[in-house]
Structure 1
Amino acid sequence: MVVDYIIIGQGICGTMLSHRLLKAGKTVVVIDETKPFTASKVASGVINPVTGRRIVRTWEIEKIMPFAVDVYREFEKDLNIALIRQTNILDFHPTPQMMLAFKERLPEEKEYLRIPDQSEQLSSYFNFYFGVGEIDPCWLIDINRLLKEWRKKLQLDGRIIEQRFEWKDCSIKASEVQYQHITAKAIICCEGAAGFHNPYFHLLPYAPNKGQAIIAAIDGLPATNIYKQGINLVPWQDGLWWIGSTYEWDFTDLNPSEAFRMKTEEQLKHWLKLPYRILDHMAAERPANMERRPFVGLHPVHKTVGVFNGMGTKGCSLAPFFANELTHYLVSGKEMTPAADVTRFTRILSR
């Protein structure tokens, strides 16, 4: 089989890149082993324009968010499914200091911040003492449905091989790549946490962290918003709620921990007035990095090997935009955003 590109992985990055390359008229084959829990499958699917305790704009959000919304709507049309809806975050301030910080940011971030007008209604569902702020717009993506339906499309078109990728079966040459019976112009690594051990890109400044989330049924809570107070309550599939998440930098395994569950239940007991039932508990390793900027592009020495990884917790927003940039670079040589281009690590990768 001869194709233009081999893509390793069908998480959010592999899904976005294969979609954009096919739209550009290129041929691809995706190599992906089915796993129950990956960072993409455990992700909440939230696109949030502001972040952190200082409530600052997410990097390049003015360009990235509207582009991502358009791409998800394009997927909706291509796959004939519902994937994206505006679901604003209601941020319950845990302290007077956080309430003041939000109010101080209001005049500077009128585009994204406001005071909601349903505080009295919210008191039926939550205990809170220092007010609520709203982040508007936020978007909620049904990531699991996207991955599942795009996989079906790839299967139908004969564009996915469902097996574990092994570098020993891959021959990297100056002008082409061969993997088993497949020949391609280049191979693009979209393998998420497996990238930490990639022989061509393992020297990149990855910062792996463990995320955990709980799936619960919450009786009577309107699924019109994402609710936040330290933890996030995010509308999930089938009327359930995604509750999380953690950023654990020092961990010995990827198993769901009793400590996280107990801490989450303790917080829910004080915050939530409604009854709930925990139905599942998930954990996965995220492909974050120290710079908090993605790794995008071809290896500076091995020009037939590329990377599209390192999205951390912002894959839903970053992946559509940078999959498009990488596609234009591969097809026409158009320059990418320098802060994302992996050639910024040429010195490290040339060792």
Structure 2
Amino acid sequence: MQVDYLIIGQGICGTFLSHELHQAGKKILVIDESQPFSSTKVASGVINPVTGRQVSTTWMAEELMSFTWQAYTHIGNTIGSNIIQNCGILAFPPSQQMREAYDGKMNDTPAFIHPVAATTVQEYIPLFHFFHGAVHIQPAYHIDLHTLLKGWRHQLLTQNSLLEESFDATLLQLHHDRVIYKDIQAEKIIFCNGTNTFQHPLWQKLPYSLNKGEALIADIPDLPPNQIYKFGITTLVPWYDGLWWVGSTYDNRFEDALPTEIFLKKKSAELASLVKCPYTIVDHIASIRPATVERRPFVGFHPQQPAAGIFNGMGTKGCSLAPYFAHQLAQHLTQNTPTTPAADVKRFGSLLSLS
């Protein structure tokens, strides 16, 4: 079998890269073993343009917010589903200091923080415990990740572009101008398979970190589902079947990928202190995601093995970074345009040359 590009993994990175290359008329093959608790499937699906206690604007926020809306709308049209919502985030500052940080950002350009009318704040008194008012983060998007992954997977199967099995790196043969895997030949291979990418000798030297995320799934029937609600580090996000995602953590000192009793107790107590209306915790999920130490993704090709590429390390910002850099990487492959230097994996050329 001859293809242009072999893509390993169909998380959010593999999904958008394979979509971009398919749109460019390239023949692709995605190798992916379905996993119910991959990092993408456990993620909240929130695209938030601000972050942290200082309410800092995220890297490339203005450009990314515009691009992601178009990208998710486009791929949604391809799979016949509306997968992006501009629902905004209603943030309840947990302290006066945090409130002042939000207020100080309202006059920024572009402005992502906006005031909330007193009458609107009053409407949430029966639902939540809060003491420092509320602000609105807008635009902020919510992505239906499950529908996205399932819908594009169906498209790949229809196009005979998906091999549903575990990738066996020991069977990969790398040459300067091509790769061979079993009976498949391709011009290049791109690793998009999350934490497994860094088990390959080509990428082990990269400065990555593995972070474990956990979340509760709760049934909160009285909570209006048209908003994302944020209380400091705890966020309530509309999930599936009327449920709510409540999380999350960023633990880099974990023993395994399983949900922990410590998180369950801590987040349950936080939820009880925040929500006044009746609710029931129905599930507890966890997954491990790769991130970069400097919070910039790995995009591009190995300096010593130009047929091998990587598209990974999105961390908690995968929903906003993956569509943008998938487009850049596809443009690089098809039109030889450069990728953003801060994301190009060649910035670690000295480390990769030791692989």
The TM-score range, normalised by the shorter chain, is over 0.9
Q: Deviations over 1:264-310 (max 9, x none)?
A: 11111111001111111111001111010000001111000000000
Give how far 1:196 is off: 2.4
Distance in structure 1 (CA, Å) of the matches to 2:226 and 2:275: 16
Give how far 1:102 is off: 1.3
Distance in structure 1 (CA, Å) of the matches to 2:324 and 2:110: 24
Correspondence 1:126-145 to 2 at 5 A: 126-145=128-147
Give how far 1:329 is off: 0.6
Distance in structure 2 (CA, Å) of the matches to 1:198 and 1:278: 38
Distance in structure 1 (CA, Å) of the matches to 2:294 and 2:26: 31
Give how far 1:345 is off: 0.6
Which residue does 1:227 correspond to in 2? 229
Correspondence 1:69-108 to 2 at 5 A: 69-108=69-108
> What amino acid does structure 1 have at the position aligned with 2:154?
K
Q: Alignment partner of 1:347: what SS?
A: helix
1:123 to 90, 100, 125: 125
Q: TM-score scaled by structure 1?
A: 0.98
Count of aligned residue pairs for this structure pair: 351
Which residue does 2:269 correspond to in 1? 266
Q: Alignment partner of 2:346: what SS?
A: helix
Bigger mean CA offset, 137-146 vs 59-68: 59-68
> What amino acid does structure 2 have at the position aligned with 1:86?
N
Correspondence 1:97-246 to 2 at 5 A: 97-108=97-108, 111-117=111-117, 118-229=120-231, 230-246=233-249
Distance in structure 2 (CA, Å) of the matches to 1:193 and 1:115: 40
Which residue does 1:322 correspond to in 2? 325
Distance in structure 1 (CA, Å) of the matches to 2:263 and 2:85: 29
Q: Deviations over 1:99-127 (max 9, x none)?
A: 11111222225621111121000112101
Correspondence 1:246-285 to 2 at 5 A: 246-285=249-288
Which residue does 1:346 correspond to in 2? 349
Distance in structure 1 (CA, Å) of the matches to 2:161 and 2:240: 27
Distance in structure 1 (CA, Å) of the matches to 2:8 and 2:186: 13
Which residue does 1:312 correspond to in 2? 315
Q: Alignment partner of 2:209: what SS?
A: coil
Q: Kindly, what percent of the aligned residue pairs are identical?
A: 46
Bigger mean CA offset, 56-65 vs 315-324: 56-65
8 Å Cα contact 1:195/1:287 also seen in 2: no
Distance in structure 1 (CA, Å) of the matches to 2:344 and 2:308: 14
Q: Does 1:334 align with 2:331?
A: no
8 Å Cα contact 1:8/1:188 also seen in 2: yes
Q: Alignment partner of 1:340: what SS?
A: coil
Give how far 1:261 is off: 1.0
Which residue does 1:29 correspond to in 2? 29
Give how far 1:249 is off: 1.3
> What amino acid does structure 2 have at the position aligned with 1:306?
G
Distance in structure 1 (CA, Å) of the matches to 2:108 and 2:144: 31
Q: Alignment partner of 1:288: what SS?
A: strand
8 Å Cα contact 2:221/2:242 also seen in 1: no
Structure 2 unmatched runs, 5+? none
Distance in structure 2 (CA, Å) of the matches to 1:279 and 1:159: 36
Distance in structure 2 (CA, Å) of the matches to 1:237 and 1:90: 20
Distance in structure 2 (CA, Å) of the matches to 1:110 and 1:133: 16
Q: TM-score scaled by structure 2?
A: 0.97
Q: Alignment partner of 1:239: what SS?
A: coil
Distance in structure 2 (CA, Å) of the matches to 1:120 and 1:110: 28
Structure 1 unmatched runs, 5+? none
8 Å Cα contact 1:289/1:310 also seen in 2: yes
8 Å Cα contact 2:216/2:281 also seen in 1: yes
Distance in structure 2 (CA, Å) of the matches to 1:262 and 1:51: 25
Q: Deviations over 1:143-171 (max 9, x none)?
A: 11100111111111110001110111111
Distance in structure 1 (CA, Å) of the matches to 2:145 and 2:221: 24
8 Å Cα contact 2:128/2:276 also seen in 1: yes
Q: Alignment partner of 1:287: what SS?
A: strand
> What amino acid does structure 2 have at the position aligned with 1:77?
N
8 Å Cα contact 1:214/1:244 also seen in 2: yes
Q: Does 1:48 align with 2:51?
A: no
Distance in structure 2 (CA, Å) of the matches to 1:130 and 1:194: 43
